[in-house]
Amino acid sequence: MLPLWLLPRLLPCLRGAAGIVALGSTSVLAKSDSADPEERAVARRLGDAESAIASFCAEASIPWTILRPTLIHDGHRDANVTAIARFIERFGFFPVGMPASGLRQPIHADDVAGAIVAALDNPLASGRLIDLPGGETLTYREMVRRIFLALDRPVRILPLPAGLLAQGIGLARRVTGVAYSPALFARMNQDLAFDGGDAVRLLGYAAQPFRPRFRASTSDGSAA
Q: How far apart are CA 127 and CA 18, in angstroms?
A: 13
Task: Give dist(CA 120, CA 84) in Å, integer.
Answer: 33
Determine, yes or no, domain membership for 122.
yes
- pLDDT tens-digit readout, 64-112: 999 999 999 999 888 899 999 999 999 999 999 999 999 999 999 999 9
**CB of 97 closer than 8 Å to CB of 144:** no
Q: How far apart are CA 86 and CA 90, in angstroms?
A: 6
Amino acid (one-letter) located at 11 = L
Cα distance from N-terminal residue to C-terminal residue, the chain = 19
When divided into structural domains, the chain yields a total of 1
Beta bridge partners of 157: 94
Say if 73 falls within a structural domain. Answer: yes
What's the confidence (pLDDT) of residue 165? 83
Q: Is 127 inside any structural domain?
A: yes
The CATH number of the domain where 187 resides is what? Answer: 3.40.50.720
Q: Is residue 216 part of a domain?
A: no
- Within a domain: 30: yes
222 found inside a domain? no
Instruction: Residue 223: count other Cβ atoms within 10 Å of its Cβ.
Output: 26
Q: Do 82 and 223 touch, CB atoms closer than 8 A?
A: yes
Q: Write down the pLDDT at residue 215.
A: 72
- Give the pLDDT of residue 18: 95
> Any bridge partners for residue 55, and if so which?
none
Three-state secondary-structure class, residue 151: coil
Instruction: Confirm if 188 and 197 have CB atoms less than 8 A apart.
Output: no
Q: Are strands 103-104 and 138-139 parallel, antiparallel or unpaired?
A: antiparallel
Q: Look at residue 104 and give its three-state secondary structure.
A: strand
Strand segments (E) across the chain? 20-23, 64-69, 72-73, 94-97, 103-104, 107-108, 128-132, 138-139, 157-160
Whether residue 156 contacts residue 92, with contact meaning beta carbons closer than 8 Å, is answered with yes
Confidence (pLDDT) at 166: 77
- Let me know if 103 is exposed, middle or buried by CB neighbors in 10 A (0-12, 13-18, 19+): middle
In a domain, 64, yes or no: yes
Asked if the structure places residue 136 within a domain, the reply is yes
Radius of gyration in angstroms for the set of CA atoms belonging to the chain, rounded to a whole number: 18
Determine the structural domain holding residue 35 and report its residue range: 8-203
pLDDT digits (tens, 9 = 90+) for 150-201: 999 999 999 998 888 877 776 766 776 666 777 888 899 999 999 999 999 9
| Whether 24 contacts 64, CB under 8 Å | no
